[in-house]
Every structure is written in structure tokens, then in C-alpha cells.
Chains A and B, each alone.
Chain A
């Protein structure tokens, strides 16, 4: 059953500036959905609309079967964790967590029980009587989460909760959030981030937002293995997927593409007779490209290695630019310090190769 349902939701500012449109999305109970997208794509705005901090300009938002477009934030059954934690600086940790419950006129016993429970889950017991300024960044983050837990909401909203933490703490807190989600399997969470790693590791489903709308919704590995369009293909994964121009020369259950650079690639994406000869873009992830030494065999790309980065576990090859296009990047396992300046041929397995016709993947036709 859908806990949260967005129907044709739109956001405009001042009647003319369109930020989001045609957002259709259903989020089921117990899911952890991550909104990702480039900065300015409206992912935080969408979250704030769900929270009730921004007005919904069009469409309907349902939480637990009820349209809540005009319901004030506190009565929507949501709780939000802000990027800057937004702790009340003049209140102790205990009072910060109790604030919402006191406003809701809960009894003293209920409030105490809720705070004790949250403090136990988040290991905040020793800090309950401290002010936020006496806490470290990670502890403040936990208080902010605790403030949500005590309210026992239907939906948790996280607005880039880790971006104010340093790298090491970010990893630790990310794991804590994952464990927290596991300990509360029935709670629904929506999480906004611009960090792919957070999205890939935490999400049950990822929503990629771009161009005022949803580019693709799917599990992390769906997005990685079968991106629906060029945008998602390049947005998910680092370094980004290589896109090489070419023409379809063979159709059927498998598609053959002759690349403008001279190579030939076979993809498992199906195509029809009518596609013959059409201009497409071939997508291959850097980590799926393999060096091929067989001089007679098929290859996708051949070029001179301009630059290499050796990371130990992998070596990243940057090929020379062709006609001003983005350089082709390959990620070869192991150490290849001798490849710089040499000509290298690359190939890829058919199931790893995407074909994009007019920006959309052939897998999604």
C-alpha cells in the first residue's frame, strides 16, 4: 500500500517560474526513497513541499490515503531532519526532543518514555542535559534524528543530512542511518542528497530528478545497469558513462552499432528493422571497458592514452579527445603504469552496453 502518493505535482514561483512539473510518484510503506539530481533540480523543493514548508502549486499529495495539500506540516504525520540540524540552540537535547511533544500536549510520562527510547536508539543518553553547542557535529545530527523519532511519524524526511559532516563522520553516520532504517522496518523515509554513494548505499529506490521532472525511478542497481536515458546514464556512476556516437547497422534481439570512431559494438538491447541506419549514442561504463590485445577482433574504441590515474586497485585511463567531445574514460582493474601515450583498443560485453536513441535507452521501448 502506498504511504505517500504524488499525483501530477507541480511547483511554480510567482506564477511564471516553473521549478517542477508532472511529478507522479508512489512511495510504499517501509521504503527508503532517495531523491538525487544536479543542484537546482528541485529535489529539496520537492521534499519541502512534502513537508508542507512550500506550497504545492498543482496536483495532489496524499499521505496515508489522505490529501494533505492544505494540511499544516505538523498534522501531516511527517518529521524532518534539516541539513544544518536546526536544533534549538537555547534548549537542552532533552528539551529539543520534547518540544514537539509538549506542543502536542502529550503527558509527561509519554514524553519521558519517547525521549528515553530515542536516546537509547541513538546513544544520546549521556548528553540529554547538554546544550547543542556542547555537542560534536555527529552528535548534533543524532539529536536532529532523535527529534524526529520521538514524534513517531509516518514519513521521515531527510534534507541532505550528512553534507555538514566531514568525510569520515559521513561514512559512519551513513551506516548509522542504514542501521536505524533496519531497526524501524515499517517507517517510510525520504532522503535528499547530491551524493551518489549515499543514494546507492541507502536507497531501496532512487528518484533521479532533472529538467523539472523525474528522469527515472528505480532500485540503485536498475539505475546503474539499465539507465532509462542519457541523463541518468551519465549522472549515476563515477566517472560518468562514456557516450559514443554511431549508427545502427544490425537489428534484432541484439543491436549492432558502427561507431563514428571506427569501432563496432554489439548490445543486448533489442531493436526493430525500422531502426536500421539511425544515429544513436552508445553507452559504456568506464569500468565495463576492457583492453583487448587481439588485433583482428571487434573493438569499440581505439585511441591514444593521454593521461592515467593509478589508484592501486584500478587504473583510470583518459584518452585523447576526438573532435572536442568529452574524452573517453576507461577504468581497468589493477596497475597499468605503462599505458600512457600508447594506443589502446577497448571492448565491452554486449550485456554491459547501452544504446540511446534520441536520448532514450532501447531497453525502455
Chain B
């Protein structure tokens, strides 16, 4: 049969099956099981209405159970077993986990995942917020928004291919087709190079360091009793943790600022960008940021529109400048949406696989946990360690997922 016909048939059977299921199951409920007639009509209607939601939920529950819940337990079981020669499995306890923890590639994936976790949600949310705020009042804002949103329609692999072309390298002397190398070869070590490769990035890094420093200070301020009410133990600990993290960011930023001004750049040499350790992670992250900024922008733009205009006007009358209006009036009012966006992107980041798989396949120190799991599971055929990797990802996702659902529900109320 022609594949198109097959597809059509599948659609007809699938949709028709759904409709038939809902129609006939309700008919059976109303006509056969609890008919609204006879002496018990009232009771029967109540009972039928109690059962009806479950009729509608049943297919979804079955599918989720089969494809989500069951695999979780099966993966857990597999992560505690090991294949034996000649078929079958045997229980090995935590041996798979121990083996995994001894592997440097796992720790590389783990630390890279943490790096992704910090950079991508922060950058996507920040750019999304910026885009949402800037496109709000201008005439061509709608066009700008749809352009920024467009990458959402591209698959991760497709986006990875696009960026592979951007990072492409040709031998010295040939025409560079990669945009990044074409730009890079324009630098010759003169004044322009100093401005664009040392001064601008240096100042940007300093600004980031300052921003992180301010954030750290504002996090720690209530804890040491300088402002507001003292937070509880849990939030106090979280604030201290965040402040320490931010202090670390400040340190890294300052070190990189120094590096930006002192490193010798190999001018005139085309670079293979994806093989530069540490930095190649960022080249991969840019792909995901490029995609997720649109998502963040759409949600945050809707949230910004929801802010009562009069509170902004009251702030203007109170003497707030545009920055104060944005950070002290607008941002606090949409903080719930920001958290939802942030955690949603965090979950996507923890699962990131396609981009790394398609661009570097985890080489040159770009491994991430999902790709590590895939490597073990389908290349090394080691189901035990692969499942252990999967469990680690799940353990990391779960708390964020719960928090995300909690926040999303709070937003809806």
C-alpha cells in the first residue's frame, strides 16, 4: 500500500477509534450500567457522573502508565542487573552505579550538565525577557517576535546542523564557509581586534561579574539581617547556597576577564571551534539558547502584558526611571512566570541529547549525561550502566519537575 494511504488509514483508525471509544463507553455507562430510569434514577445519574471522568482519563492513564511509569521501574530494575553470558540477567546490586562513578566520562558529562544547567536557562530567560520587553512597544515588534520565535519550529538536530555550518572550518587559504571563521579571519591583531576581542568581551565579563556580585549581595542581605525580615532556615540556606554560587561565578568571570586581556590569540588561523575544550560547550549551548529564547519570550511577553498599566504609571509618578520600573515594578509582578519558564527550560536542558549527539557526539570534553546514557546503552550495549545513567538524570529532573508543577499550578490560581 502507498505510504500516504497508510498514513491516512492510521489517522482514520486512530481518531475514529478515539471517538468510538468515548462515544460507546459513555453509551454503555448511560444505557446499560446506570440507566437514568426506574426507582433509582437519581442515584444512577450520580454514579454515572462519578465514573464518567475516569472513562475520559482511562486512555491517557493507560498510555502514560505503559510508556512512562512502567519504563521508570524497568530502568530501575535494569540498572541493578547485569547480562549474563548465554542470555538472562542477574542481580548485581549497585555495581553498575559504582562502575559508572569510576568513569571520568560520566563526571565530564555530569559537570557539563551542571554548566548547561546554569547557563542555558539563565541566558534563555534573560534574552527572552529582554526581547519581550523591547518588542512590546514598537510597531514592528510583532515581526521581531515571530522571527525570534521561529527557531522553536526547528528540530534540535536541524538547529545543530545549521550551527555546524556556522562553526565550519576550512583549511587555511581556502574560502571559509563558516560565518564564525569568516569573522575571525577579519581580525589581524590591530586596534579593531583589541576593541572587539579584548575590550568588549572584557567589559561584558566585568558587567556579568558585577551583576552576579549584586545578586549575591541581595541574596545574602536578609540572611545577615541588613534588610527586611529574616528568612526561614530553608530559604536562608538556599539564599546562602545561591550567594556562594554567585560568588563562584564572580570569581570565574574575573579570571576569564584577566584571560581575555592576556591570552595570545592565533590571528589568521582558521579555528576548529568545536574542538576547543571548555568553550566548545558554550558553542553547543548557544544552539539551545537560540531555540529556547523564543519560548521564554512568548510566555514572558504575555505576562508583561498582564501587568496593570496603572502600577507602571504610579511608579512613573513616584519617580522611578525605566530601569527601576522594569526591575522593581514589572519583574516582581511576573516572577511566577519567570520561575515557570526557568524551570521548564531547566528540564529541557537536563534532557539535552540531540544537539550534543549531532554536533560533537560528546567528543572534545562536551559529553552530557543523556548522550553518555545513549553511548552506554546502544553503543557499548551495557544496559546496566546505561540505565544507571538514566536514573541519575531522572533523579536530577524530578525535584525541578515537582517545583515546576507547583509553580505552574500557583500561577494558574
Seen from chain A, the residues whose Cβ lies within 8 Å of a Cβ on chain B are 51-53, 72-75, 78-80, 82-91, 99-100, 103-104, 147, 151
B315 touches A99 (CB 8 A): yes
- Cβ distance A162 to chain B, nearest Cβ, rounded Å: 16
Decide: A104 near B319, CB < 8 A? Known: A82-B310, A86-B308, A86-B311: yes
A89 vs B329: C-alpha distance when bound (angstroms):
9
B310 touches A74 (CB 8 A): no
Seen from chain B, the residues whose Cβ lies within 8 Å of a Cβ on chain A are 308, 310-311, 313-320, 324, 328-329, 332-333, 335
B317 touches A73 (CB 8 A): yes
- Cβ distance A243 to chain B, nearest Cβ, rounded Å: 39
- Considering the complex, give the chain B residue whose CB is closest to the CB of A74: B319
Q: Which residues of A contact B324 (CB under 8 A)?
A: 103
A53 touches B315 (CB 8 A): no
A53 touches B319 (CB 8 A): no
Q: Which residues of A contact B335 (CB under 8 A)?
A: 90
Task: Give 5 nearest A-B pairs by CB, closest first.
Answer: A74-B319, A86-B310, A100-B318, A90-B332, A86-B314
Q: A73-B317, A99-B320, A104-B319 are in contact. List 5 more A-B contacts (CB 8 A).
A: A52-B317, A74-B317, A99-B318, A100-B318, A103-B318
A73 vs B308: C-alpha distance when bound (angstroms):
19
Q: Which residues of B contact A151 (CB under 8 A)?
A: 318
- Considering the complex, give the chain A residue whose CB is closest to the CB of B309: A86
Decide: A88 near B313, CB < 8 A? Known: A100-B319, A103-B320: no
- Cβ distance B410 to chain A, nearest Cβ, rounded Å: 14
Q: Looking at the complex, which one of B308, B313, B320, B328 makes contact with A53 (CB distance below 8 Å)?
A: B313
Q: Which residues of B contact A53 (CB under 8 A)?
A: 313, 316-317
A90 touches B333 (CB 8 A): yes
A89 touches B311 (CB 8 A): yes
- Considering the complex, give the chain A residue whose CB is closest to the CB of B334: A90
- Cβ distance B221 to chain A, nearest Cβ, rounded Å: 15
18 intermolecular pairs with C-beta atoms under 8 Å apart: A51-B317, A53-B317, A73-B317, A73-B319, A74-B318, A74-B319, A78-B317, A80-B314, A82-B314, A83-B310, A84-B310, A85-B310, A88-B315, A88-B329, A90-B335, A100-B319, A103-B319, A151-B318
B313 touches A86 (CB 8 A): yes
- Cβ distance A49 to chain B, nearest Cβ, rounded Å: 13
Q: Looking at the complex, which one of A78, A88, A104 makes contact with B314 (CB distance below 8 Å)?
A: A88
A326 vs B364: C-alpha distance when bound (angstroms):
89
A86 vs B333: C-alpha distance when bound (angstroms):
13
From B314, B316, B329, name the one whose CB has the most chain A CB atoms within 10 angstroms. Answer: B314
- Cβ distance B319 to chain A, nearest Cβ, rounded Å: 3
A86 vs B308: C-alpha distance when bound (angstroms):
8
A52 vs B318: C-alpha distance when bound (angstroms):
12
- Considering the complex, give the chain A residue whose CB is closest to the CB of B320: A103
A72 vs B324: C-alpha distance when bound (angstroms):
15
- Considering the complex, give the chain A residue whose CB is closest to the CB of B316: A73
A85 vs B324: C-alpha distance when bound (angstroms):
20
A151 vs B319: C-alpha distance when bound (angstroms):
11
- Cβ distance A119 to chain B, nearest Cβ, rounded Å: 18
- Cβ distance B3 to chain A, nearest Cβ, rounded Å: 56
Q: Which residues of A contact B329 (CB under 8 A)?
A: 88
Q: Which residues of A contact B333 (CB under 8 A)?
A: 88-90
Q: Which residues of A contact B310 (CB under 8 A)?
A: 82-86
- Cβ distance B315 to chain A, nearest Cβ, rounded Å: 7
Q: Which residues of A contact B328 (CB under 8 A)?
A: 99
From A72, A87, A103, name the one whose CB has the most chain B CB atoms within 10 angstroms. Answer: A103
- Considering the complex, give the chain B residue whose CB is closest to the CB of A53: B313
- Cβ distance B231 to chain A, nearest Cβ, rounded Å: 15
- Cβ distance B50 to chain A, nearest Cβ, rounded Å: 35
B318 touches A82 (CB 8 A): no
- Cβ distance A150 to chain B, nearest Cβ, rounded Å: 10
From B308, B310, B317, B324, name the one whose CB has the most chain A CB atoms within 10 angstroms. Answer: B317
- Considering the complex, give the chain B residue whose CB is closest to the CB of A76: B317
A83 vs B314: C-alpha distance when bound (angstroms):
11
A88 touches B319 (CB 8 A): no
